[in-house]
Structure 1
C-alpha cells in the first residue's frame, strides 16, 4: 500500500508525458505454486512474495478427484486469483510441473479435453495482468509450496503446524467454491524413505537411519516423487 501511494503521488505531480517506469522501479509479484494428488486426495499450495518481500502462504484442499496435472493447474489458477485480488499487475509464476509450464508457454500441445479447458482458463486469467511470466523450477526450489500442497501426508519443518486450509469443492473449469477448513499437518513415515531415494539424505537419528537403510530397497520412487512398494512378483504396488 505504501508503494502504491508513492507511485500515485509521483504520477500526479510529474509533467505530462513523462515515463514513470524510468523513475520508479516496478518489482513483480512472485508466486510459487505446486499441486499434489494421491490416494488420500488432492491439494494445492501457493507462496506469494509481494514487492515488499512479504510472504503469503495458502493451502487448498481439493474436494474432488483430480490427477496430478489437474492439481498443478488448480494451484496455478489459485495463485493467479490470489495476486489478482491483491491488485498485482506484474507477476512472475514459478512451478515445478514440466507439463503445465510447457503447455502455458506453448512448447507442449494440450490434447486431453480437461487439459485444454484448464489451459484456456489460465490464458484467460493471465489477460487480467499487464505482464505474466511463468517459469519452471526444480522441485527442490519449490519445497515450501510442495509442503503446503501435501499437508495431508508431509510438511516441511519451517511451515507452521497449524495453518488455514481452503477447500475447493469443484474443478475450476466447471465451478468455483471455497470453504475454510483447519487441518493439523502431521509427519509421514514415507518422508524419510523419499528423501533417501531422491537425495540420498538420511535421518539424523541413528535408529531411524538403520530403519530406512533396512526398508528402502522395498520401495521405488517414481519421477513425480510418488512412492511405490515393490512386490515379489515384479509389479509395483
Structure 2
C-alpha cells in the first residue's frame, strides 16, 4: 500500500503539488509513513512523500452504506414539474386637483416591462378623493379592455386603497358608490390587489395627473381622455361632487338653435334639479378600437393567451420561438424589434399598400427593396413576408425597370469642400539654412493656417523636435489646439518628440511628401529653394 501511494504521487505529481489530497485506505498508512524507526525502502518512500501534505483517513465498514447507495442509484425519481410563473400587470394611479381643474394619471405596466400611460381631464367640480377614484376606475377599465387577468394596483392615497380592500368603511355616500363600482369592475379579473406606496414611488402617475389638472399640452406617446360626468350618480347627501350646467358639454342633439334665447337662471322657469341629473356610465363601454388580428398572427396569439400549440412539433417549436418577441397591447399583437421598437403586426395586403405608397406614391423616390422594408419597420409595422413583397414590387415596377440602366453618376468630378474652420488645420515646415544671423539663427519654422492663410514664423538655432514643440506650444497658447497639422516627412516633425506631443494631445499629424524639384539642395552655397517666398520671410528673419 505504501508503494502504491509512492507511485501515485510520482505519476500525479502536479495534482499533489496544487491540490490537497485525501488518502482513504484500510491499512494505517499514516502510522507507517510517519514511523521514525522505519528503514530501507519505507524510509526512502517516506522521504519522497514528505513534500506533499496529504490527509490519511481509515476506511470504515461500507456494508450499510452500499445498500443506501444502491437505493439512491436505482430508485425511480418522482419528478415534479415547476409551477408556472403567474404574471401580473401593475397599475399606478393618482389624482390631482389644482386651480385649473381636476386630473388623473394612470400607468399600466405589462409583465414584460411595456408601459401604457394615460391622462384623464375631469370637467366637473369634485374633491381630490373623487379624482383618485376616477383614476382607479379608468385604469381598471383600460386593463379590462386589454384583457388583463391579474393586476396589482398601487396608489399613494391610503383612504381609497383601504376602502377598496374592504378594511375601512366609506362614510361618504359618493365614496360608497365608487367603492361598489370598483368592486363590480374587479369582478372581471381573476386576481386584483391594492397596495399603498409612498409618493416618491408613484411619481410618474403623479406627473401625469398634474398634466391633466393643469390642462397643459400632452406630450406624444400619452393617451388623453376627457371625463364630462362622474362614473357614479352623485348623491344629494354628499357635497364631494357637484356638476353645474356650465361645466356639462351638451351633445349635438341638445345644442340650442342660434335663434333661440337661453333661459335666465334667475327666473322661475329654470330647473335647478336638472343641472345635477346625470346618467350612469356603462362599464362595458369600449375604450379602444380593437382591430382583428392578422391570419398569420392567430397561432402566436392563441399560444400567448391560452397556451395552445398545434400538433406539428416543428410548427409548435417555431411558434414558441417567435412568441418570445411578441406582446399583446390593447388586444393587438406587437413584435419587438432588435432595437426595442414595438411594431404592430399587419396583414400582408395592408403591408403591400404601405410599400406601394412609399415606393411610388406622391413622395415616392423608387427606393430599393431593403430601403422600403427598413422604412416601414421604423414606422412601427411588421409582417413576415415584407422583404419578399418589396423585392417583387421593385422587380415589377415600370419606372424602375425603364430607368435603372441609365447612368446616375454626376456629370463632373466631385470637388472637396474646403475647410471652413479657422485655426483648425495648420501647415508646418522649416526653411533654411540661411546665413547665420544674430543669435546664430540659421533656420526658420513657418506655420500657415489653411483657412485664413495666417502666417506664423520663428527663427531657430537647432533643428530638432524639442524646438518644434516649443513653437507649437506658442501657437496653441494664442490660437488653441489645432485639429490637424500638415507637414513633410522630416525627422524633426514625423518622428521623435514632436510626434509624441501631437499624439498625447490628440492632434492629427498628416505627412505630405515634398516635391523633388522644390526640395532639392543647392550645392553652390545659395539658399535652398522652398515652396515659400523667401523675400516675404526676410523681414521676420532679420
Pairwise TM-score range, normalised by the shorter structure = 0.5 to 0.7
Aligned length: 157
CA-atom RMSD in angstroms: 2.5
Corresponding residue for residue 151 of structure 2: 91
**Contact 2:170–2:176 (Cα < 8 Å) also in 1:** yes
**Contact 1:46–1:145 (Cα < 8 Å) also in 2:** yes
**Contact 2:91–2:107 (Cα < 8 Å) also in 1:** yes
Q: Which consecutive unaligned segments of at least 5 residues does structure 1 have?
A: 1-19, 181-237
**Contact 2:121–2:215 (Cα < 8 Å) also in 1:** no
- Compare relative contact order (CA 8 Å, sep 6+) and give the higher one, 1 or 2: 1
Q: Where does 1:196-211 land on structure 2 (aligned, <5 Å)?
A: none
Cα–Cα, structure 1 residues 61 and 55, in superposed 2: closer, same or farther, change >3 Å? Answer: same
**Contact 2:101–2:214 (Cα < 8 Å) also in 1:** no
Alignment partner of 1:133 out of 173, 193, 200: 193
Q: Where does 1:111-122 land on structure 2 (aligned, <5 Å)?
A: 111-122=171-182
TM-score by length of 2: 0.27
Corresponding residue for residue 101 of structure 2: 41
Alignment partner of 2:232 out of 164, 168, 173: 173
Residues 199-219 of structure 1, C-alpha deviations (whole Å, 9 max, x = no match):
xxxxxxxxxxxxxxxxxxxxx
Which contiguous aligned blocks of 4+ residues in structure 1 show a shift greater than 2 angstroms? 152-155, 159-164, 174-178
Residues 60-112 of structure 1, C-alpha deviations (whole Å, 9 max, x = no match):
00111121000000011011001110000111000101110111122221011
Alignment partner of 2:129 out of 69, 78, 86: 69
Residues 20-61 of structure 1, C-alpha deviations (whole Å, 9 max, x = no match):
9x5532210100000111221111100000122100000000
CA–CA distance in structure 1, aligned partners of residues 180 and 214 of structure 2 = 31
Q: Which has the higher strand share?
A: 1
Corresponding residue for residue 215 of structure 1: none
Corresponding residue for residue 82 of structure 1: 142
CA–CA distance in structure 2, aligned partners of residues 131 and 43 of structure 1 = 27
**Contact 1:93–1:134 (Cα < 8 Å) also in 2:** yes
Q: Where does 1:186-225 land on structure 2 (aligned, <5 Å)?
A: none
> Does 2:189 match 1:143?
no
Cα–Cα, structure 1 residues 53 and 163, in superposed 2: closer, same or farther, change >3 Å? Answer: closer
CA–CA distance in structure 2, aligned partners of residues 125 and 53 of structure 1 = 24
**Contact 2:98–2:214 (Cα < 8 Å) also in 1:** no
**Contact 1:61–1:166 (Cα < 8 Å) also in 2:** yes
Q: Counterpart of 2:126 in 1: which secondary structure?
A: coil
Deviates more, 1:77-86 or 1:102-111: 102-111
CA–CA distance in structure 1, aligned partners of residues 155 and 148 of structure 2 = 18
Q: Tell me by how many angstroms 1:162 deviates.
A: 7.5
CA–CA distance in structure 1, aligned partners of residues 205 and 187 of structure 2 = 24
CA–CA distance in structure 1, aligned partners of residues 127 and 171 of structure 2 = 15
Cα–Cα, structure 1 residues 23 and 69, in superposed 2: closer, same or farther, change >3 Å? Answer: same
CA–CA distance in structure 2, aligned partners of residues 164 and 31 of structure 1 = 15
**Contact 1:169–1:176 (Cα < 8 Å) also in 2:** no
Corresponding residue for residue 230 of structure 1: none
Alignment partner of 1:124 out of 184, 187, 192: 184
**Contact 1:168–1:176 (Cα < 8 Å) also in 2:** no
